[in-house]
Chain A
Amino acid sequence: MRTLAILLRTNFLSLVGSYRKKSKTSIVITAIAMLLLVLFLVGSFAFIGGSSTLLLVKKDLGEYSIFLSIIISMVIALMFGVVNSTRDARGNDTDMLLSMPIPKSSIVLSKLLGMYLLDVVCSLVMLLPTYIILYVKDGQPGAMVARGILIAMLLPAIPLFVSLVVGAGIAYLKRTTKFGQMISSVVFILVWLLYMFSVTRMSSMAEDIDLTPAESVTRMKKFGPLYWFTEAIYRGNLKYFIFTLLLTLIPLAIAVVIHSRGLNAVNYHADHSKKARKYEANSVRVATLKMELRRYLSSTNYVMNTILGTLLLLVMAILVAVKGQGIINSVGASEIDVNGETKTFAEYMTGPMIATILAALMNFFAVMTITTTPSVSIEGKRLWISKTLPVETKFLLDAKIIVSLLIYQPISILSCIVMSIALRLGVMSCIMMILVTSVFQLLTSLIGLIFGLIYVRLDWTNDAQVVKSGIGIFFTLIVNFVLAIIALIVLIFTALTGHAWITYALCGAFFVVNAGLCVGAYAIITHYGVRKYESLNG
């Protein structure tokens, strides 16, 4: 127990230490700041849970409010857990700890308890408002609050189990395939999307509920274990309380076994596989492009911070394809006054007009997908490789631009085609949409690269320092968002002309102006950018 206590204390100090900006900052202050950060992160969900409970208590659905709050807390805990699972479960200190006279069970328990305790804090923060409101407003007994607190402390075992299983799966894939890092990135992105979805859905969840208490029980029963947890808290049902204990403690035991097995793995990456070596030959251009693409895909942070626009674009295309015509039909029934003549909106809206509006919206997704800004800084200490190779600097910079286009353009073009077909916009409108969005994305990529070259940082220790933050990223976003807003105003004005050929002409002019800006930006890159890159000391 003494060793376990020492390990827990050290883990805590290490965690707090990683957030200390300066060595002079007090540990207590840092710990309080961390706690406030956690409260802030989960506080919004606690607020959603609390406000939902208030609404549901008025509808005599107090039990259902516990059910919803449990869902919210489980989704968030699962999200954090799965994000954690994409990281190396062994940690940097495992080898050191295993070399010390510490029982392996203590190492396993200290690591699991560290994760578990953090989840317990989050779980309590999210569920306590619900319990308190039920106690105060719904007249529930204090025993219910006590049961709720106890179960809130047990529930994190489930997401912990899930995250360890996912982590073990990812570790296995890293061992056996070369796509481990990419899988990690995909899991990260999916979780992020789940988070976005949860935030948007949860806030309106309680308002949409129109159930009687009996109907709510029928609905809850469909969710098996979640219903058992709810019953155990709300009614103190012993059978369901035992189920809850089993459902949380058994996964916790399995989690301990999984984690201790993970500790025995020598190294997730050291495979020494007998796979045949591939001696593939490529041209210099292709080799530099492949290297740039690999560099992009190998960084989860890099992918996470730049893929959002592409994903949202895909979601938008699917939504427009599925629901777009319905929206146009419903909106189209309303009447508007055009030059003194009353028309329905459907009569007024033409293919080119819709295409132009969609293109203007798509430009915002392009702004979220700029991979070029961190592409120079991300080379960091490996810059010596590019700089000592007999490759023209222009080739290297071109590769950064092409990667940006490769990540966004195929989805963008596909989205334009899908939306055009779904909304029957016509071939000309489709082509116009592709041209307008393509040239704008190229321009944002070029601007991103210019800022990336101006505000380059090579001395980073964690790629998040150059991928997530940095003055280059800030300026790129500001400038490109301003451009997207200008483009939106121009294109909406263009769309509202109402005449197909005028819209085409104005979109053509938009294309030409943007293409001109692209030529100018590219000229800056091939002159100033090349000189700047060559002067960098990695």
Chain B
Amino acid sequence: MLSIYHLSKTYPGGKIGVQDLTLEVKAGEIYGFIGHNGAGKTTTIKAIVGLHKFDEGSVTIDGVSILDDPLRAKSLTAYIPDNPELYDNLTGMQFLNFVADIFRVSKSDRQARIEKYANELEIVSALNDQISSYSHGMKQKLAIIAAFVHEPKLLIMDEPFVGLDPKAAFIVKNMMREFCDKGNAIFFSTHVLEVAEKLCDKIAIIKGGRLIAAGTMEEVKGNASLEEVFLEVTEEAH
């Protein structure tokens, strides 16, 4: 579903964002992406969704290159940023309608999906309010609904659980599992190793822009805890 091949990105001034990163996310997989602050997680994610240009390598989504056919690639993807800056002066409903319009979601489909996810995330009563009145968690919930409303094949999430209350986090985890069970895929970054350990089918650890470990959960951590492995491999790579 998502193939990243020898991806490299250096920022102006010489700071390395990502270096020669290769990984593959298959349909049905939840793929976790962990690393220290500044390790290159967000740079990689922004390259996947077409926000950042990259110097070398390729990114393909369901066989479609983000460089060669960005519109087609984006139509297969949904992105939830770590800090969802949404249009503050719109109501939640207006924002969801906007996203649904862009992805050409029919009126009946959008109604069914918005009601389903808004009910699950308990945000229905706030949909007619302006986004400026939302808390960080509510904005995150709205961004999640906007991502699910067009039923993408690949979901890219940057720290999706930040700001969510425990119940909402639990619901979102269920939504993620359900989404991948339908043959879709999720690639997400997180600092919460317990969540990654429980939720992910595969995991990749990045440090200084380089991939230092990747594979199924068993391959990466064996019998140890993910936390121990993470600390160990990031220390070794130092």
Which of B32-40, B86-94, B165-173 interfaces with chain A? B86-94
What residues of chain B lie closer than 8 Å to A391, measured between beta carbons?
71, 102
Contacting pair A384 B129 (CB below 8 A)? no
Bound complex: CA A267 to CA B132 (Å): 10
Contacting pair B75 A273 (CB below 8 A)? no
Flag whether B103 is at the interface (Cβ < 8 A): yes
Flag whether A272 is at the interface (Cβ < 8 A): yes
- Per a CB cutoff under 8 Å, which of A275, A277, A287, A295 touches B87? A295
1/0 contact string of A18-35 vs chain B (CB within 8 Å): 000000000000000000
Bound complex: CA A389 to CA B150 (Å): 11
Contacting pair B93 A291 (CB below 8 A)? no
Which of A64-72, A118-126, A278-286, A413-421 interfaces with chain B? A278-286
Interface residues of A in 350-392 (CB under 8 A from B): 380-382, 384-385, 387-392
Bound complex: CA A301 to CA B15 (Å): 37
- Per a CB cutoff under 8 Å, which of A269, A288, A291, A384 touches B81? A384
Flag whether A60 is at the interface (Cβ < 8 A): no
Flag whether B65 is at the interface (Cβ < 8 A): no
Contacting pair A279 B111 (CB below 8 A)? yes
Bound complex: CA A295 to CA B85 (Å): 14
What residues of chain A lie closer than 8 Å to B51, measured between beta carbons?
384, 387-388, 537-538
Flag whether A1 is at the interface (Cβ < 8 A): no
Most buried by B among A270, A385, A535: A385
Flag whether B10 is at the interface (Cβ < 8 A): no
- Per a CB cutoff under 8 Å, which of B102, B125, B133 touches A390? B102
Contacting pair A281 B107 (CB below 8 A)? yes
What residues of chain A lie closer than 8 Å to B93, measured between beta carbons?
277-278
Known: A279-B97, A381-B85, A385-B86. A390 touches B129 (CB 8 A): no
Flag whether B79 is at the interface (Cβ < 8 A): yes
Known: A288-B102, A382-B86, A385-B87. A279 touches B114 (CB 8 A): yes
Q: How far is the CB of B33 from chain A (nearest CB, A)?
A: 17
1/0 contact string of A243-277 vs chain B (CB within 8 Å): 00000000000000000000000010111110101
Contacting pair B98 A291 (CB below 8 A)? yes
Residue of B nearest to A276 (CB): B128
Flag whether A290 is at the interface (Cβ < 8 A): yes
What residues of chain A lie closer than 8 Å to B133, measured between beta carbons?
267, 269-271
Q: In the complex, how many residue pairs between chain A and chain B have their CB atoms under 8 Å apart?
A: 104
- Per a CB cutoff under 8 Å, which of B94, B104, B127 touches A294? B94
Bound complex: CA A392 to CA B72 (Å): 10
Contacting pair A272 B126 (CB below 8 A)? yes
Flag whether B101 is at the interface (Cβ < 8 A): yes
Flag whether B53 is at the interface (Cβ < 8 A): yes
What residues of chain B lie closer than 8 Å to A381, measured between beta carbons?
85
1/0 contact string of A389-405 vs chain B (CB within 8 Å): 11110000000000000
Contacting pair A280 B97 (CB below 8 A)? yes
Contacting pair B101 A283 (CB below 8 A)? yes
Contacting pair B77 A294 (CB below 8 A)? no
Contacting pair A290 B98 (CB below 8 A)? yes
What residues of chain B lie closer than 8 Å to A385, measured between beta carbons?
86-87
1/0 contact string of B93-131 vs chain A (CB within 8 Å): 110011111111111001100100000000001111110
What residues of chain A lie closer than 8 Å to B71, measured between beta carbons?
390-392
Q: How far is the CB of A222 from chain B (nearest CB, A)?
A: 44
Flag whether A178 is at the interface (Cβ < 8 A): yes
Residue of A nearest to B118 (CB): A277
- Per a CB cutoff under 8 Å, which of A283, A299, A382 touches B85? A382
Q: How far is the CB of B125 from chain A (nearest CB, A)?
A: 5
Contacting pair A271 B129 (CB below 8 A)? yes
Bound complex: CA A389 to CA B100 (Å): 11
Residue of B nearest to A279 (CB): B111
Instruction: Supply 13 A–B pairs (Cβ within 8 Å), ascending by A.
Output: A181-B89, A267-B133, A269-B130, A270-B126, A282-B101, A284-B102, A287-B97, A382-B86, A388-B50, A390-B74, A390-B75, A390-B102, A391-B71
The 6 lowest CB-CB distance pairs between A and B, nearest first, are A298-B89, A287-B101, A269-B133, A390-B75, A390-B74, A381-B85
**Given A387-B50, A388-B74, A391-B102, 9 other A-B contacts at CB below 8 A?**
A178-B91, A277-B114, A279-B107, A284-B104, A287-B97, A295-B87, A380-B85, A389-B74, A535-B53
Chain A residues with a Cβ under 8 A of chain B:
178, 181, 267, 269-273, 275, 277-284, 286-288, 290-291, 294-295, 298-299, 380-382, 384-385, 387-392, 535, 537-538
